[in-house]
Amino acid sequence: MGDDHALDIADLNHWFGAGEAQKQALFDIDLEIDRGSLTVLVGPSGSGKTTLLTLVGCLREVQEGSVMLLGHQLHVAKPAQQIALRRRLGFIFQAHNLHGSLTALQNVLMGLQVHGATDQDTQMSAARHMLTLLGLGDRIDYFPANLSGGQKQRVAVARALVGNPDIVFADEPTAALDRESGMTVVKMLKQLGQVRGTTTVMVTHDNRILEMADRIITLEDGRIVNDTSK
Ligand SMILES: Nc1ncnc2c1ncn2[C@@H]1O[C@H](COP(=O)(O)OP(=O)(O)OP(=O)(O)O)[C@@H](O)[C@H]1O
């Protein structure tokens, strides 16, 4: 694998269930993803997009095939290595999974505390800065219950990005956002790719994002049926 690849996937297969109920969800996936690129996964419901995203994001165990994530082979990575690798990833999911008992600022700080680095003042200012960039500067002390769906989603985006991840995995990150907020989030990810080399892999049905993607990969019935680079 070259250093220019954030992800290198070969002969990846995945099944759900066992015995007669067993069903194959992914078939022979081969894919290399360049560092700093914005790649979009599209395809009909049930085509395997989320399964692929969770496998390459260390959220599901690889059953067959090879996944090299940031130069590390996942199926041989020890638990401690997997934890270290996960710290280099940012996740944005449709269900934003905010902690209801924490304010917007505290939720974003959670994204930094797993890194355990920098002092508290630096963490605070990084979290405030990220929330401000996402247009939530006046909402930092609000609890999720007092934020709209779109605002909650932007808090989740801030939490994913505040730790400077090497790769961002996003599943329908703009589904709950209006056009302007959705564009802000995608432009930010694109800019992070250009400035810091952050790689983004995103599942979306949002046509507005397709125009901004470097690469569009289409899945159907667990197979890659189209791969378009700009
Ligand atoms: N936990 C699971 N147990 C059993 N089958 C599953 C599980 N998760 C996914 N599947 C099946 O695997 C296939 C791929 O599902 P997946 O969620 O990856 O598709 P998707 O393209 O992300 O769909 P959507 O756009 O609806 O989210 C589907 O047939 C689905 O029913």
What is 36-59+77-229's CATH number? 3.40.50.300
Tens of pLDDT along 4-31? 899 999 999 999 999 999 999 999 999 9
Residue spans per domain, the chain: 36-59+77-229
Instruction: Give residue 168's pLDDT.
Output: 94
Q: How far is CA 26 from each of CA 3, 30, 66, rounded to the nearest angstrom?
A: 26, 11, 13
- The residue-averaged pLDDT of 72-81 equals 87
Compute the half-sphere exposure of residue 144: CA atoms within 13 Å on the CB side of its CA.
Answer: 17
Q: Whose CA is nearest to atom 18 of ligand 1?
A: 48
- List pocket residues of ligand 1, CB cut-off 6 Å: 16-17, 25, 43, 45-51
Q: Look at residue 1 and tell me whether its pLDDT is greater than 60.
A: no
How far apart are the CA of 51 and the centre of ligand 1, in A? 6
Q: What is the pLDDT of residues 122-135, one digit of tens each?
A: 889 999 999 998 88
Q: Report if pTM > 0.90.
A: no
What is the 48 CA–ligand 1 centroid distance (Å)?
Answer: 6
Residue 186 C-beta-side C-alpha neighbours within 13 Å: 28
Residue 133, φ and ψ in degrees, nearest 5: -60, -35
pLDDT at 101 over 90: no
Q: How many angstroms is it from 20 CA to the middle of ligand 1?
A: 18
Question: Ligand 1 center to residue 222 CA distance, Å?
Answer: 9
Query: Which among 20, 40, 42, 49 is the best mutation to test ligand 1's pocket, defined by most ligand atoms within 8 Å of the CB?
Result: 49
